Amino acid sequence: MIISVTSKRGGTGRTSVAIILALNLAKHHGKSVCLVDLKQSNDIIKLLKLKTSATIDNLITPLGFGGEFTKVEDNLCKYDAIDILPGTCIQLPTYLYKSSNYVLALLQYLSQTFDFVVLDIDDAMLYEDLKSKQLGMYPLHVLDQNMLVVAEYQEDMRTGGLEGLILVNKVNDKVFPGRSEYSKNFDTKSLYFLEDSLAVRNTLNRVDRRKGINFTAIVKTGFYKEIDRIGTRLIEVAPRFERVEHTYVDKNSLFYEPPKNKQVVNKKPAKKSFLARLGIRR
């Protein structure tokens, strides 16, 4: 299942939510999880203070220019119980603007390999560049309480314009006492509120390069309890997003593996390429 943690603006705490959600699914629910950074700023690696030469750009850019494929596993870095595919800091990410078809195929491959693929991605890239509905991505929209005063977001929330789950982050009851007015209009399993947690912010700001995040400290917070509710909900809906059966694709596609049985009894129509089976045109 592919979960796209997204937002229509920066500063909502989206990256922190993506990291802690991925750790929750892996450590508390026993799932295999790959966290993918699809933002130019490469915030995941910065926040976790990881040093690695691995990047999604190593996988995608060579393909966009006719180069050879590098194994996905060679560009994943391990962090605690999750695998991470880091983003890239180049100004104009070719893996989105020039090679989005390859990214779709890459995400399809990851979804066949892991129980959950968690994306940290901008809203515009999600819908315009990646044509997310082709892969059946399940969005988790991260808002903050200040965004709720904007008519556009209020209308989206009332009419169901925001599909998937809605998470309102950094909520302060003294500043935003009317959350019950929003809650009563929603299925309790689709709308979530995270308190403005000083404990979580302090923990994330003090990441130890050798030990990583103090996950034990975060687990004790109300912030984490709500993240765990989201993780539980995602596991409930996961069966609707069954993995696509493994397919063999031609040598020019992202993932290639030759057929194990080379004997051909009856000549059958040629199989569609991996990208074609996804409904993607080159």
| Confidence (pLDDT) at 26 | 96
CA dist 160 and 170 (Å) reads: 22
Residue 252 pLDDT: 42
Domain ranges of the chain: 2-240
Of the pLDDT bands very low, low, confident and very high (cuts 50, 70, 90), residue 254 is very low
- The residue among 38 and 211 whose pLDDT is bigger is 38
Mean pLDDT in residue range 109-130 = 78
Instruction: Report the sign of the C-alpha dihedral through residues 84, 26, 230, 197, in that order.
Output: negative
Q: What is the pLDDT of residues 157-198, one digit of tens each?
A: 666 666 788 888 877 766 665 566 666 656 556 878 877 776
pLDDT value of position 233: 92
Q: How confident is the model at residue 25 (pLDDT cuts 50, 70, 90)?
A: very high
Q: For the chain, what is the mean pLDDT? A: 73
Upper half-sphere CA count for residue 250 (Cβ side, 13 Å): 8
pLDDT number for residue 257: 43
> Which is it for strands 138-144 and 165-171: parallel, antiparallel or unpaired?
parallel
Q: For the domain 2-240, what is the CATH superfamily, name and number?
A: P-loop containing nucleotide triphosphate hydrolases (3.40.50.300)
Question: CA-to-CA distance for 178 and 97, rounded, in angstroms?
Answer: 41
pLDDT at 85: 93
Mean pLDDT (whole number) for 33-45: 87
| Predicted local distance difference test score (pLDDT) of residue 244 | 47
pLDDT at 148 over 50: yes
* Crossing angle for the helix pair 222-237 and 14-27, to the nearest 10 degrees: 70
* CA–CA separation, 157 and 153 (whole Å): 6
